[in-house]
Amino acid sequence: MRESAQAGRDAEAVSKFVESFAAQLVEAGMQRMAARVFAALLSSDKGVLTSAELSEQLQISPAAVSGAVRYLAQTHMVSREREPGSRRERYRVHGDQWYEALTNREAVIKRWEGALREGVNSLGPDTPAGRRMAETLAFFEFIEGEIAAMMERWRAHRERTFGQG
C-alpha cells in the first residue's frame, strides 16, 4: 500500500477533485488535457509534478502531457523547470500567481480592441454602428486599467489575509 509518490493522500478524493475542477475549466473554454493537467498540479502536495507523474496519474500518454504543458506554459498558468543535472522536467503551479494569469487577458483584449477600431474606421465614427463600436472600444480600454488596479488591491488583501506565504 501507499507505494506512490503521493503517499498518505486519498488518491480517490484527489482524482474526484481533479476531474470535477477540470470539467469546469473545460466548460469555460480550456482544452481538456490542459485542464486535467492543471487541476492535477493544483491539487498536488507540492504544486510540482513531473511529466511521468502526470502521465501516470491521469492515464494519458507523454505526448498528451507535452501538448497540455505547452499550452499551460504559454498562458503562464504553470512554469517549467529542470531538475538540475537531469533530463526530467518538472511543472509547477505558482500558487499565488496562476490566477493572475487568468485575469491577464491583455493580449485577447488588445486584439478585440484592434478589430473594433478597424470597425469604427471602416463603418465611419458617425454611423450608428460606428458609435456602438466606439463605445464598446471605450469599455475595453476602461476595463484594461481597472483590472490592473484591482489586482493591486488583491495583493494587499492577500497579504493581510494570508501573510506573504
* Interface with a copy of itself, residue 27, by CB under 8 A: yes
In this structure, the chain runs to a length of 165
Nearest Cα to 57, choosing from 72, 36, 77?
36
Per partner kind, with CB cut-offs from 5 to 8 A, the member of DNA, a copy of itself, none near residue 78 is: none
Of 52, 129, 138, 156, the one binding DNA (CB under 7 A) is 52
Do the beta carbons of residue 51 and residue 11 sit within 8 Å? Answer: no
Do the beta carbons of residue 36 and residue 44 sit within 8 Å? Answer: no
Do the beta carbons of residue 90 and residue 80 sit within 8 Å? Answer: yes
Nearest Cα to 78, choosing from 41, 23, 32?
41
CB of 142 to DNA, least distance (A): 31
> Which residues are at the interface with a copy of itself (CB under 8 A)?
9-10, 13-14, 16-17, 20-21, 23-24, 27-29, 42-47, 93, 95-96, 98-99, 103, 108, 111-112, 115-116, 118-119, 122-123, 127-129, 131-133, 135-136, 138-140, 142-143, 146, 150, 153-154, 157-158, 161-162, 165
